[in-house]
Amino acid sequence: MYTLHFSRSATKEFKKIDRHNQLFLTRSLDEFIANFNDAYEQSLMQTGKIKKLQGQKEVLYRLKLRSYRVVYQKQDEKLIILVVHVTSREGAYR
């Protein structure tokens, strides 16, 4: 089973988001974690909700949730999904 961990910077960014969108993101991420496996991830990649980011030293993925982008990294040996970055679409790739 996977668990969800936020980096310090992601936690700070998350707190800047209004309460309504925080609840949406929390529920969406909980659902994402509850259903997460390789087949689920592949189905979301086919629909375009998940994309593997290019040009990074680490293997990072982007998850689209409304106008927000969640950048995450899988750590298979620990079965952890680490949320690296949560931001609106405008500032997601800076």
Q: Is residue 43 in some structural domain?
A: yes
CA–CA gap between residue 78 and residue 86 (Å, rounded):
22
The range of the structural domain enclosing residue 78 comes to: 3-87
Whether residue 36 contacts residue 49, with contact meaning beta carbons closer than 8 Å, is answered with: no
Instruction: Tell me the average pLDDT across 74-92.
Output: 68
pLDDT digits 0-9 by tens, 5-61: 888 888 888 888 889 999 999 999 999 988 988 899 999 999 999 999 998 788 888
Whether residue 51 contacts residue 62, with contact meaning beta carbons closer than 8 Å, is answered with: yes
- Cβ atoms < 10 Å from Cβ of 91: 10
pTM given for the model = 0.82
Q: Is residue 94 in some structural domain?
A: no
Identity of residue 56: Q
Q: Which residue has the higher pLDDT, 27 or 74?
A: 27
Q: Is residue 68 in some structural domain?
A: yes
- Given a cut of 70, whether residue 93 has pLDDT beyond it is no
Which one, of 12, 30, 29, 36, lies nearest residue 68 by Cα? 29
CATH of the domain at 8: 3.30.2310.20
Burial per residue of 21-42, b for 16 or more beta-carbon CB atoms within 10 angstroms, e otherwise: beeebeeebeebeeebeeeebe
Q: Is residue 93 in some structural domain?
A: no
Instruction: Tell me the average pLDDT across 60-85.
Output: 79
In the prediction, which pLDDT does 78 show? Answer: 56
Tell me how many domains the chain contains: 1
